[in-house]
Structure 1
Amino acid sequence: MIRQPVVAGSFYQSNVRYLLDSIEDAFKSSSGFGEIPTLSRFKYKDSMLTGILVPHAGYMYSGAVASNSYAELALDGFPDTFVILCPNHTGLGDPLSVFSEGEWVTPLGHVSVDEIFSKELINNSKFASSNFEAHMQEHSIEVQLPFLQYFSKDFKIVPICMGVQDSAFVDDILDAIIKAQDVTGRDIRVIASSDLSHFNNQKIAENLDNLILEDIKNMDSLKLLSDVKSNNITMCGYAPAMVAINYSKIKGEGISKVLKYSTSGNVTHDYNSVVGYGSAIFK
């Protein structure tokens, strides 16, 4: 299965030169990392990072925020495989849809799916299935790929779209990821694709998003889920964030760092209805 780009030309530039320029501008932005990092060539088995949290809006809105996480990822060195988890904005597909074979295409080229890892993951999950429909119009993994391709073409991906975001599905997919990693021996990083609160005014958005970011700092996935539910926070990818937190606790040091927070209002200067964006790393 070849997954063609569906948001090139809208969420990010479709022209290769303009796309590369926009990624570099994101890194150099005042809300970005501040400079263009260099991909580490050290042996990635010694990596400190287990994963990252990144937003998935159009690059003009959230690209600078995302660049902070991608800079740390590049400086840490790339793994064999990125397991990329996202929410399901379209409602298509299965509750836990894995794009299990083939390639994803962006203006910067093709990215291969890690078919061996995907098969092991599905075999070890009660809920995951091989399903392409959930991914065909979903933007929240596609927008991550050019940031990765900017640094290297030597990696594979496991795209996972979470249509159900509850503790049972988080625990199941986490267990399946770890078992697949143990069987395949892959070095992986988990990428959790999520925007924060949606369509509140700036003050309310900051208050709600600060709850989420504090939970991420504290590595408290259950409180994150509780805060999302009890405060009706419209964070779209809270389950992917929970997976990244819990994976770090098992495979890493169990610590995180929130790198940057901003909103769409800081770009458009319309503070009446904003979307929050956060970047974080997990070790």
Structure 2
Amino acid sequence: MIRLPAVAGSFYEGDEDKLKKQIEWSFLHPLGPGKIPQVPEQKGRRNNLFFIVPHAGYMYSGPVAAHAYYYLVSEGTPDTVIILGPNHTGLGSYVSVWPKGKWKTPLGEVEIDEQIAMDLVKETEMIDIDEKAHLYEHSIEVQVPFLQYFFDSRFKIVPIVIMMQTPEVSEYLAEGIYRIIQKYNQKDIVVIASSDLNHYEPHERTLEKDSWAIEKIEKLDYKGLFNVVEEKDVTACGYGPIMTVLILAKKFNKKPYILKHATSGDTSGDKSSVVGYLSVRFGD
């Protein structure tokens, strides 16, 4: 059961060599961290368990995403990466996991952690096994080549697409993931919340709206974030995944560290209608 890439050649380069160069460009870009991280030979205890990472085309959001991956990579190869993304397509269930097999990109194939995927289905009682939600969804797919560039196929993923983005769903999901991390405490598990922030407004207005969301993220206030999205029309697309990692961060006593905030206007030069991007790590 192989999930083929849906946005290779559009959101990121479809050719292996060009894709590797595009990822390197993301790290070395003026908005990026400025250098390419090295995977350590000796892995210690992971400090940063959770991340918020944008998921637009690499030419727009790659440099901001690179900040999160800089920290993830610097702490060594994870065993499993649970990637939470919003549902842009409207296909599938309220919360959908791709249960087994492999995901393919121009950089190769990555195995699904079937054991953890199926345990999460049992633990939460709200995640459905549903491939339809994943077939054309980009929010999880665009994270995979960044991981493959550094870790090749030495890690597994659990892809979860969230359509029903409410505090209650995030609470159930966070509790399920919390139990899984406790149960598999010998495994190095990382959770990525894949989300962009405000969409398609002028640069300055987007910075203002994004700041309202970032303020709630810095306080780990997931209900406050939901209210900002609902009441102030901050059009973050992955607020469900973000709420989930905010709850997890609180459960594991991890603090939020804002790594980089920018908009598509900062990379494209067109600031008339932009999308906001944010990288956050949650560590000690």
What is the TM-score of this pair, normalised by structure 2? Answer: 0.96
Provide Cα deviations, 1:159-200, integer angstroms capped at 9, x if missing partner.
000010001110111111122233344321110000000011
Q: Look up the match of 1:218.
A: 219
Tell me, yes or no, if structure 1 residue 49 matches structure 2 residue 48: yes
Q: Look up the match of 1:241.
A: 242
How far has the Cα of 1:242 moved from its partner? 1.2
2:98 is aligned with what amino acid?
F
Q: Look up the match of 1:174.
A: 174
Q: Look up the match of 1:123.
A: 122
Change (3 A) 1:29 1:241: same
2:190 is aligned with what amino acid?
R
**For 2:267 and 2:188, how far apart are their aligned partners in 1?**
37
Q: Look up the match of 2:62.
A: 63
User: Identity of paired residues, percent?
Assistant: 42
How far has the Cα of 1:224 moved from its partner? 1.0
1:112 is aligned with what amino acid?
E
How far has the Cα of 1:50 moved from its partner? 1.2
Question: Contact (CA 8 Å) 2:167, 2:222: kept in 1 or not?
Answer: no
Residue correspondence of structure 1 range 1-283 to structure 2 within 5 A: 1-44=1-44, 46-152=45-151, 153-185=153-185, 186-251=187-252, 253-283=253-283
Question: Contact (CA 8 Å) 2:43, 2:75: kept in 1 or not?
Answer: no
Question: Contact (CA 8 Å) 1:85, 1:161: kept in 2 or not?
Answer: yes
**For 2:183 and 2:85, how far apart are their aligned partners in 1?**
24
1:107 is aligned with what amino acid?
P
**For 2:52 and 2:76, how far apart are their aligned partners in 1?**
17
Change (3 A) 1:242 1:41: farther
**For 1:183 and 1:76, how far apart are their aligned partners in 2?**
22
Q: More deviation in 270-279 or 92-101?
A: 270-279
Q: More deviation in 211-220 or 254-263?
A: 211-220
**For 1:265 and 1:49, how far apart are their aligned partners in 2?**
29
The DSSP-based 3-state class of the residue aligned with 1:124 is helix
How far has the Cα of 1:148 moved from its partner? 0.4
How far has the Cα of 1:239 moved from its partner? 1.1
**For 2:40 and 2:117, how far apart are their aligned partners in 1?**
26
1:163 is aligned with what amino acid?
M
**For 1:111 and 1:32, how far apart are their aligned partners in 2?**
26
Question: Contact (CA 8 Å) 2:84, 2:192: kept in 1 or not?
Answer: yes
1:33 is aligned with what amino acid?
P
The DSSP-based 3-state class of the residue aligned with 2:124 is coil
Question: Contact (CA 8 Å) 1:219, 1:254: kept in 2 or not?
Answer: no
Provide Cα deviations, 1:222-269, integer angstroms capped at 9, x if missing partner.
211111111011100011111112112212x32011111111112222
1:65 is aligned with what amino acid?
V
**For 1:237 and 1:203, how far apart are their aligned partners in 2?**
21
**For 1:218 and 1:194, how far apart are their aligned partners in 2?**
18
The DSSP-based 3-state class of the residue aligned with 2:196 is coil
How far has the Cα of 1:272 moved from its partner? 1.6
CA RMSD of aligned residues (A): 1.1
**For 1:182 and 1:29, how far apart are their aligned partners in 2?**
38
What is the TM-score of this pair, normalised by structure 1? Answer: 0.96
1:118 is aligned with what amino acid?
A
